[in-house]
């Protein structure tokens, strides 16, 4: 799992760059996120999609020192994918 470090009070954009294994073009049709502490959902909503850069992103401002999980869920051609990123807030 990838990891991003935040200092308490920081507000940063977290990006997920998506690539195709066969280099074929694709469109990200939907993207959402959940920010979790253990199994508790602290925040959730939609992500920004940039199909030209093939990325999804969300600006976050964690409000507690903890190890959090950012879960991106996105859809490409009817298939749903999930990626998790660990956020270490110190």
* Half-sphere exposure (Cβ direction) of 75: Cα atoms closer than 13 Å: 7
| pLDDT score at 1 | 86
For residue 24, count CB atoms less than 10 angstroms from its CB and return exposed for 0-12, middle for 13-18, buried for 19 or more.
exposed
| pLDDT score at 42 | 97
| pLDDT score at 31 | 98
The C-alpha atoms of residue 4 and residue 7 are separated, in whole angstroms, by 10
Distances (CA, A) of 49 to 14, 39, 65: 12, 26, 28
| pLDDT score at 82 | 98
pLDDT along the chain (90 residues), means of 10: 95 96 93 97 98 97 96 96 97
| pLDDT score at 75 | 98
């Amino acid at each position: 799992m990838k990891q991003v470090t935040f200092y308490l009070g920081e507000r940063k954009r977290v990006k997920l760059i998506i690539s195709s294994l066969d280099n074929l073009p694709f469109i990200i049709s939907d993207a959402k996120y959940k920010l979790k502490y253990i199994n508790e959902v602290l925040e959730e909503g939609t992500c920004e999609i940039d199909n030209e850069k093939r990325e999804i992103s969300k600006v976050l401002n964690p409000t507690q020192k903890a190890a959090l999980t950012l879960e991106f869920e996105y859809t490409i051609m009817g298939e749903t994918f999930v990626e998790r990123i660990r956020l270490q807030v110190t």
